[in-house]
Amino acid sequence: MYWGGNPAECHPRHFTKYTLMQKSKFLPRGRKDRTMVLVDIRETKSAKASDIFLQVRPGKDFELITILRAMIKEQHVGDEQIAETGMTREVLDDLVHRMKSCKFGCFFFGMGLSMTRGKHMNSAALLTLAAEMNAFTKFVAMPMRGHGNVTGADVIMRWQTGYPFGITFNRGYPRYNPGEFSTVDVLVRGDCDAAFIIGADPGATMPQPAIEHLKRIPTICLDPHVTHTSNLARVHITTAPQGIAAPGTAYRMDELPLPLKPALKSPYPSDEEVVRRINAAIAEKPFWLAEGSQPQMITNQV
Amino acid sequence: MTITLTLKQAPAVPLEAEVLSPDVFAELSNAEIRALIVYNGKRQVPLEEFFDVDGERSDELVLHGDLTKVRLIGRGMSKGSVTVHGRVGMHLGAHMKGGRIEVHGDASDWIGAEMKNGFIHVHGNAGGQIGAAYRGSLAGMKNGTIIVDGTAGLEVGMRMRRGTIILGGQAKDFTGLQMKGGTIILMDGAEIRTGAWMNRGTIISMKPIKLMPTFAESNDSNPTFMNVYARQLKRFGVNLPFAASEGIYQRFSGDLAVPGNGEILVWQPA
């Protein structure tokens, strides 16, 4: 089930390599053994590949998922309320039946879900639905990531700190609070007095107040190319492109690590080397706290 | 006798000052207070670098200045009072166990998050996640009262277990998200998805609100508990109508997705 994404155009190899076409021991007929449902606000090219296309009203994803959560528990939801999301009872009854009777279901959700009104709660709704579907059959949910190796950043942060993003280290240990420590919010409020950007282009994607703040503060950017961010940065260090001229590990969307071998040579250092050298230079400076003092854990206060 | 703290200059990065609490100040001399450690970003600095301190050994704090970037004020306090004249930063009165906080100005997100008891009154507008549970935590505020005269942000009372939140202005989306108990009173309604995934608890709205599709209308009534509430809330200057002659409360129950026994009462004036 694809929700709020357009894999036919954005992840063109997704159908053939992973979700629809592959033949396997338990699904020997490939596409014929699978059912694909697409939920989106408009009929995209992916709709042609789907068995069932559900056109949800814009901004009603959270409501629709919540209705599905109620329906799988056999709670009665009114026809009028269902119609508000752009669906009918017959369609949803059929969908719930198919979801419950399948052997292994998977939700793939895109920016149409996670970046519309409700944001993280829309994703949370789909994840909760997937969790609750496991009372009936195996079900998982997976985000359709946009850029290369976003998954890698999440995975590494997770095993290093226990949290995937939105972390502060100012007390000497990781603390997690998206909305307070996540990059966009920190920049929009103007909470930081320096920025170090690696492998990203926030200058192209972030809201205007965040970009304005990046211009105000010393911004250091590591990137092989000239980007929006490198143009507004105080320092731009050109690095070798990962996977082309620098080795490394990229994480596939399903969190499978893939080693990358460089095909070309680059006169520039890799991101890793630059960060290593910056770290070495910082290590020579005196410790930022007074002699003998430790950062105080915030939980000691409660 | 009170302790007056005046902000000298606004910090450039967030100042984490959980020591700004009556529990900490109660037994300390002026010099000891000035030497208390606050976190300016990751750096430990004495309190006197940012604040002028006047007074000592008191559990009544008065703060002046634009404290937008000063966080964690009154965290875990159990007695006394904090009065803020000006804007105030995040996590005001988080985990507080008692005492009272009054803000003459705007407040930010996470005020009274996971508080156990006490009283918070914000005279201006507030941010989101009022009395909420922190990310990954199961229960938000457990008791106490939060009053906001102005508007509020997202996820007010998220996963709250008990206690009362009263909003004078409008709240944004997801008010009472995954509520487990307690009461939220909306004097000016809220935007969409009010009471989403609520399990138990009561949301009372004085204005018509957009409900989730998974709420079912159950009945119209004037619940008897409402006049007890109204009498209690009169002390805070909140007028809750309850007489049958004035109107009636439309009751919706949900959220069916959980399935929960929460209730949303919407006032219908006669």
- This complex has an ipTM of 0.91
The tens digit of pLDDT for each residue in B85-134 reads 999 999 999 999 999 999 999 999 999 999 999 999 999 999 999 999 99
Closest residue to B18, CB basis, from A172, A290, A301: A301
pLDDT at A33: 93
A98 shares its domain with A156: no
- How close, in Å, is residue B204 to chain A by CA atoms? 21
Which of B39, B177, B214, B253 best probes binding to A when mutated, by most A CB atoms within 10 angstroms? Answer: B214
Residue B190 phi/psi, 5° resolution? Answer: -150, 165
A184 shares its domain with A161: yes
Q: Is residue B108 a contact partner of residue B199, using CB atoms and an 8 Å limit?
A: no
A8 shares its domain with A137: yes
A22 shares its domain with A97: yes
- How close, in Å, is residue A118 to chain B by CA atoms? 8
Alpha helix (H) residue ranges in chain A: 7-10, 14, 46-49, 61-72, 79-84, 89-101, 111-114, 120-133, 150-161, 183-189, 202-205, 208-216, 228-232, 271-283
**Closest C-alpha among B193, B256, B266, B254 to residue B223:** B266
Confidence band of A299 (pLDDT split at 50, 70, 90): low
Query: How many Cα atoms occupy the beta-carbon half-sphere of A116 within 13 Å?
Result: 19
Closest residue to A176, CB basis, from B135, B212, B259: B135
Q: Per-residue pLDDT for A302 more than 80?
A: no
> Is residue A58 situated within a structural domain?
yes
Please state the domain count of chain A. Answer: 2
Question: Between chains, do B213 and A84 touch, taking CB under 8 Å as contact?
Answer: yes
> Is residue A295 situated within a structural domain?
no
Q: Which residues of B touch A164 (CB under 8 A)?
A: none
Of A280-294, B16-30, B141-155, B246-260, the one with minimum mean pLDDT is: A280-294
- How close, in Å, is residue B258 to chain A by CA atoms? 7
Task: From A121, A143, A165, give the residue that closes a domain.
Answer: A143
Question: Between chains, do B255 and A73 touch, taking CB under 8 Å as contact?
Answer: no
- R_g (Cα) of chain B, nearest Å: 19
Q: Per-residue pLDDT for A292 more than 80?
A: no
Mean pLDDT of chain A: 92
Please state, as a whole number, how many other Cβ atoms lie within 10 Å of the Cβ of residue A54. Answer: 19
A167 shares its domain with A93: no
A259 shares its domain with A162: yes
Q: Is residue A5 a contact partner of residue A14, using CB atoms and an 8 Å limit?
A: no
**Closest C-alpha among A240, A204, A197 to residue A218:** A197
> Is residue A297 situated within a structural domain?
no
Task: From A122, A143, A164, give the residue that closes a domain.
Answer: A143
Task: From A113, A143, A173, give the residue that closes a domain.
Answer: A143
A155 shares its domain with A274: yes
Closest residue to A66, CB basis, from B69, B75, B212: B212
Give the structural domain span for A267. Answer: 150-289
> Is residue A294 situated within a structural domain?
no
> Is residue A90 situated within a structural domain?
yes
The tens digit of pLDDT for each residue in B198-244 reads 999 999 999 999 999 999 999 899 999 998 989 989 988 888 998 88
**Closest C-alpha among A275, A254, A110, A256 to residue A199:** A275
Going from N- to C-terminal start, the domains of chain B cover 109-269
> Is residue A300 situated within a structural domain?
no
| DSSP classification of residue B261 | -
Q: Per-residue pLDDT for A294 more than 90?
A: no
| Distance (Å, whole) CA B205 – CA B266 | 5
A65 shares its domain with A21: yes
CATH number at residue A71: 3.40.228.10
The tens digit of pLDDT for each residue in A146-196 reads 777 889 999 999 999 999 999 999 888 899 999 999 999 999 999 999 999
> For A192, which residue in chain B has the nearest alpha carbon?
B13
